[in-house]
Amino acid sequence: MSYKKWFDAHAQKHAKIMEKLKDRSDDEVIEYFRFENMVKHEPDFCPLYEKNKQCHEMENLNCYLCACPNFRFDDDGFEQQNGKTLFSFCSIDSRDGSQFEGEDYIHQNCASCIVPHRVSYIKKHFQRDWKSIMKEVEPKK
Burial of 42-59, coded b for 16+ CB within 10 Å and e otherwise, reads beebbeebeeeebbbeee
Mean local confidence (pLDDT), 106-135:
95
Mean pLDDT calculated for residue range 38-43 = 97
The edge-to-edge listing of strands for the beta sheet with 84-86 is 79-81, 84-86, 105-109, 98-101
State the pLDDT at residue 136: 87
In a domain, 74, yes or no: yes
- Asked if the structure places residue 139 within a domain, the reply is no
Residues 72-107 pLDDT 10s: 999 999 999 999 999 999 999 999 999 999 999 999
Q: Pick the more confident residue, 2 or 47.
A: 47
Owning domain of residue 62: 3-133
**Domain assignment of residue 138, yes or no:** no
pLDDT exceeding 70 applies to what percent of the chain?
A: 99
- Supply the pTM of this predicted model: 0.90
- At 112 the pLDDT is 93
Query: What pLDDT score does 2 carry?
Result: 85
DSSP β-ladder status, 84-86 and 79-81: antiparallel
Which among 70, 12, 4, 71 has a CA at the least distance from the CA of 42? 12
- How many distinct structural domains can be found in the chain? 1
* 140 is a domain residue: no
- What 3-state class would DSSP assign to 106? strand
Say if CB 50 and CB 139 are below 8 A apart: no
Q: Is residue 30 part of a domain?
A: yes
The distance from CA 83 to its chain's CA centroid, rounded to whole angstroms, is 28
- Residue 72 buriedness (CB in 10 A; 0-12 / 13-18 / 19+): middle
The pLDDT assigned to 141 comes to 66
Q: How far lies 18's CA from each of 43, 92, 93, 129, in Å?
A: 15, 27, 30, 8
128 within domain boundaries? yes
- What are the pLDDT digits (tens) for 53-76? 999 989 999 999 998 999 999 999
